[in-house]
Structure 1
């Protein structure tokens, strides 16, 4: 049976407490994890610490933190600390992000993202072991680092996100899980083949690699409002967040639509960008509409063989009340 989790809102929320309240609501409804994206708002470790303090059973972790703005040793320390604070409920999610974020926001060179991710996985694990870290990689060389606290009693899984074939293969070969976002069922099936190839190359047991798929969802009695919010969310991601989402949609058979959305957004015509997103594309990549329709659309992703966890995400324009309504309507105990 596929688990159901929360992918907490990427858009700014009124306060840290309001984000914590959403996680608590998810815990009350039986959601498995509360995943927190880190973009341009509040930093993930601080918010996750607050969530850990205010919850008891729900798992938690970032989905994702990037592998450029913090050192791998620091992320190892962060993982150890959050595992302690959460009493063993933490799971680390990392990925390169993209040039728009890394170069534009953090002022770092977006170099060798796959190799960098691989070395982060290695180093974070070595830090979490509690042993002295002596690491000689292509990018990082560390000598003498060791935690000055006990390592976590419960091992911290280290997951990697990715959209392209090579990044997904890397997750299967080296990470404890893969985080996916914005895929059609067919597109996800294709990437799962890359994940399995990675597991074979790494001689991994498939049961040891957890697949988490975040689906943009909106379940409202006003179904048209829900679909409009989902449409605006996709237009923003394809048009404003660099090339990764556009390229991913293109690989999945929506090249013309992806380029039309991006072109309209770049020209400042937001309405045209929305018009480029057909109902077919909206339904193929998300679950939006009335509660009944959203539940039905979400189910097609949950039935894909190899997906362990469906994480319910939310359109960036949704109000707190609309997010709460969606959490309630799509809850595993509903």
Structure 2
């Protein structure tokens, strides 16, 4: 049975308390897990600690924690600590982020993100096992590290984010699950075959592992506002966040649209970029409208065989009130 999660906002929020309140609301409404991204705002580990201390049953997770901004040993230590403070409720999501974030803001060479992600997952698993870490890789050559505290019990699962075929295959081969983002239904089905192939290469059940789809949603009585918000969100990611999201959309058969949105946004014309997104396309990649419309559409995504969890996420300019309204409207039992 597909479970429904809440993906806490990537956009700036008024306070840590606001994020904790959103997680508490999600817990009250029956969501299974609260995922928190880490971009260029608050430290995800600190916020998740606050959430863990002020909730009781809802799972917590990072989606995603970039593999360039912390060493693998530190990521392992952080995951072990979060698993302890949450009483075993953590699931760790890792990924490379993108060159704009990593090179411009962290001052790191983006290099080979697939290799670095794989090595990070490998090392973090060794750290979390409690055994002495010995690793000889292209990026990391480690020997002698061991957790000073008891290893977490149970050991948290590790997911990897990915959009391209090789990245998704990597998630299937080396991680316990895959985090999918900005995919149409057809695009998701195509990439799922890459995930299954990765599982096969690892000697695992190809139908195993966990697929979590982050789905941008806005469910409001003001239908026009809801759809405008999700449209702006899609246009921003394709147009403003480097070339990863643009190429991801082009790979799904929307090359002209992807490049048009990107070029308009880069030329300083966000309104024209948004205008390229028609109603039909918007409904293939996001969920926006009245509560009844959105509940029906989310259920359709959840009915896909390749989806284990839909993570209800929110447009980047959504207000706290709009986020809470959407969390309530799309509650699993609503």
CA distance in 2, matches of 1:50, 1:208: 32
Determine the C-alpha separation between the residues in 2 that align with 1:333 and 1:295. Answer: 10
Query: RMSD in angstroms over aligned alpha carbons?
Result: 0.8
SS of the aligned residue for 1:153 comes to coil
Q: How far is 1:303 from its partner?
A: 1.2
Q: 1:261 maps to what in 2?
A: 261
Partner of residue 305, structure 1: 305
CA drift of 1:134 comes to 1.2
Shift in Å, 1:210: 0.7
Gaps of 5+ in 2: none
Structure 2 Cα separation of the partners of residues 45 and 207 of structure 1: 31
Equivalent-residue separation in structure 2 for 1:153 and 1:309 (angstroms):
24
Within a 5 Å distance, the mapping from 1:1-334 to structure 2 comes to 1-206=1-206, 208-334=208-334
Give how far 1:5 is off: 0.2
Q: Deviations over 1:149-187 (max 9, x none)?
A: 000111110110000000000100110010001000000
Q: What is the alpha-carbon distance in structure 1 between the residues aligned to residue 117 and residue 204 of structure 2? A: 18
CA distance in 2, matches of 1:287, 1:207: 27
Identify if the C-alpha distance between structure 1 residues 206 and 50 changes in structure 2 by more than 3 Å, giving closer, same or farther: farther
SS state at 1:91 partner: strand
Distance 1:270 1:165 in 2: 29
Q: Does the 8 Å CA contact 1:102/1:109 hold for their aligned counterparts?
A: yes
Unaligned runs of 5+ in 1: none
Structure 2 CA distance for partners of 1:56 and 1:208, relative to 1, 3 Å: farther
**In structure 2, C-alpha distance between the alignment counterparts of 1:181 and 1:14, rounded to whole Å:** 25
SS in 2 for 1:268: coil
Checking the alignment, whether the CA contact within 8 Å between 2:196 and 2:207 is kept in structure 1 is no
Do 1:185 and 1:300's aligned partners in 2 also have CA atoms closer than 8 Å?
Answer: no
Structure 1 segments, 4+ long, off by >2 Å, are 205-208
CA contact (8 A) 2:38 2:62 kept: yes
Contact 2:197 2:206 in 1 (8 A): no
Aligned residues: 334
Q: Is the contact between residue 135 and residue 142 of structure 1 (CA under 8 Å) also seen in structure 2?
A: yes
**Is the contact between residue 257 and residue 276 of structure 1 (CA under 8 Å) also seen in structure 2?**
yes
Give 3-state SS (helix, strand or coil) of 1:196's partner: helix
Note the C-alpha offset of 1:205.
2.4
TM-superposition CA deviations, 1:262-318 (whole Å, max 9, x none) = 111111111101101111121000110011111122122111112110000000111
SS at match of 1:105: helix
